Structure 1
């Protein structure tokens, strides 16, 4: 769960990188990532941490970005809801998740092979039955 969320929206990737770099150096915050918007070249920098740290980091990031580009907006949300946190936090893919997915894929492949073998066996039974019926005629 995110304790506090900070967002800085700028025009251009270079300004976003500068804002993010300055923000994480200015206070004890974690850079969640960036998000590219569709059209207009706007980029949103997402950071999280304690409210006071995020506030200081956002202000420092905005000041740094303004030297390079246009800052469109900034926002600090103290204690965002879980749903908002899930919107901005990238899903963490751990080794356990990867192994779990591999097992599911292997199970699915095994199920498909078994299904194919069943179909093949059924076809062979039908073909054998047809051959026997032809011989009997």
Structure 2
């Protein structure tokens, strides 16, 4: 019974990975620097997130990619946040940091990077929507 539930869990992880990689990575190569360059060149937070999903390693290297996405998204909102909103944003990032901290394996480090990037993307979308800017 345990094996069956373990296999079901692994299947879900694999399907999630396939869903993330629906788009092919447009970077020149799979080298970290090439992927970071593609992320930095993305015209928007949402596009950077799509590239992150397409180019991710599913391992600890995703931390660096996630940091690029966070910075790109933060450019849309961080300077506009008042102190309570900044504290709320930081709290949400810490939730991501704690979510998988007791798990072993580099895929959990990747999941943390995605969680943090998704929080930044959510804040970016709210700021763009409030400002009437398009994505």
TM range (shorter): under 0.3
More strand, by proportion? 1
Q: TM-score, normalised by structure 2?
A: 0.24
Q: Which has the higher helix share?
A: 2
Larger Rg: 1
